[in-house]
């Protein structure tokens, strides 16, 4: 089954709505310039509830050019399972995070930065000076070739309207959505999240 990650969660209300819609992974954005930025304390409040009531959920921190120590501190403090690295992080950083991190690629994929865990990486659209959440579609043709070899998350402009097509064409290990299920930047729309999950499951059943 295709994994579903809903990213940019800022409130417990949105976290629970995403869980009820059927998300497998929730993402929390620690990049201060993002409209989906969350403070560490606010994240702890949400994740402490989720870990207790939904132990199966995987929680992911999204980081841009933070140090390994800062990332490790946030992972531990917020009870996060994985770090998604959206900046210019090195192979050494991935190694230091020891199976708990994966790289987000905007555009082309650097084979040196592909990890062995799942997901091996994330593919996003290439938008100048924007680290994810742009609402622009990634290159599905390139992604479908990579999907034959790797277990990755497909992100970039996915919506309830186009994700069925994306899953059918690319066949990714998982899909990642942020702006495509929002009523305004950083505010999730429950109906859109439900529809997004339904669209993914519909594509799999064809």
Contact 103, 97 (CB under 8 A): no
- 124 in catalytic set: yes
Give the angle subtended at the CA of 4 by the CAs of 132 and 188, to the nearest 5°.
Answer: 60
Question: Which residue is it, tokens 């192979």?
Answer: 91
Annotated active-site residue in 7, 14, 43, 78: 7
The closest alpha carbon to 62, from 38, 27, 87, belongs to 27
| Six-digit token string for 162 | 């186009």
Annotated active-site residue in 14, 43, 78, 124: 124
- 78 in catalytic set: no
Give the angle subtended at the CA of 177 by the CAs of 140 and 100, to the nearest 5°.
Answer: 95
The residues facing 187 across adjacent strands are 184
Give the angle subtended at the CA of 205 by the CAs of 202 and 206, to the nearest 5°.
Answer: 95
Show which residues are catalytic: 7, 124
């Amino acid at each position: 089954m295709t994994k579903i990650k809903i990213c940019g969660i800022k409130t417990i209300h949105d976290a629970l709505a995403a869980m009820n819609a059927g998300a497998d992974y929730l993402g929390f954005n620690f990049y201060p310039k993002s409209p989906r930025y969350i403070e560490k304390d606010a994240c702890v409040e949400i994740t402490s509830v989720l870990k207790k009531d939904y132990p199966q959920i995987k929680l992911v921190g999204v980081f841009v050019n933070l140090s390994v120590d800062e990332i490790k501190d946030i992972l531990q403090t917020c009870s996060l399972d994985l770090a998604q690295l959206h900046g210019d992080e090195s192979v050494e950083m991935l190694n230091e995070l020891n199976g708990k991190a994966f790289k987000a690629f905007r555009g082309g994929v650097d084979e040196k930065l592909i990890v062995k865990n799942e997901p091996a990486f994330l593919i996003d659209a290439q938008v100048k000076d924007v680290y994810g959440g742009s609402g622009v579609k990634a290159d599905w043709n390139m992604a479908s070739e990579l999907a034959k070899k790797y277990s990755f998350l497909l992100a970039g402009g996915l919506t309830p309207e186009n994700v069925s097509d994306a899953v059918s064409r690319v066949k990714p290990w998982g899909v990642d959505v942020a702006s495509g299920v929002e009523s305004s930047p950083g505010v999730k729309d429950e109906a859109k999240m439900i529809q997004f999950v339904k669209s993914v499951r519909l594509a799999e059943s064809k």
